[in-house]
Amino acid sequence: MLKWVVAAGLVLALPAVASAQDAANGKKLFTKCAPCHAVGPGAKNKVGPELNGILDRAAASVEGFAYSDALKKSGLKWDDANLHKWLENPKALVPGTKMLFPGVKDEVERDDIIAYIESFNADGTNK
């Protein structure tokens, strides 16, 4: 019985630990994005829009940011799958975008970056 409880506890604890590590690594990898993007408390638009609350938000919906027509007309929603495609190769997903970024080819790195930006609420506080 005790063994079972310990094993169940481990299984439940693992995903949480993994995601915290992903976000920590994603924070380091976000240095690739930081010249153009801010996320977290008080994030403001820079060369690119601030990224708070990005998950499941419609593309091109940060007020006051001058998006390209291409992204405005894309009709995309930033779910996990679209964020992966975007970060792998923005121009392939949205030809004509003004995000001049070659992309992150490593899927695990993309996962970590997404885990990091997803760890913030729309108001910049931590989830």
Where on the chain is the footprint of ligand HEC (CB under 6 A)? 32-33, 35-37, 47-49, 51, 54, 59-62, 67-68, 70-71, 78, 86-87, 97-101, 104, 113, 117
Shortest distance (Å) from residue 49 CB to ligand HEC: 4
| Distance of alpha carbon 124 from alpha carbon 97, whole angstroms | 25
Q: Judged by CB, which is closer to ligand HEC: 7, or 34?
A: 34
CB of 122 vs ligand HEC, minimal distance in Å: 12
Q: Minimal distance in Å, beta carbon 102 to ligand HEC?
A: 9
Nearer to ligand HEC, 23 or 54 (CB): 54
* Contacts within 8 Å (CB) and 24+ apart, 95-98: 95/70, 96/68, 96/69, 96/70, 97/68, 97/70, 97/71, 98/67, 98/68, 98/70, 98/71
Closest CB 68 distance from ligand HEC, rounded Å = 3
Q: What is the spatial distance between Cα 38 and Cα 24, in angstroms, rounded to a whole number?
A: 16
As a whole number of angstroms, the distance between CA 113 and CA 88 comes to 11
Which CB, 23 or 117, lies closer to ligand HEC?
A: 117
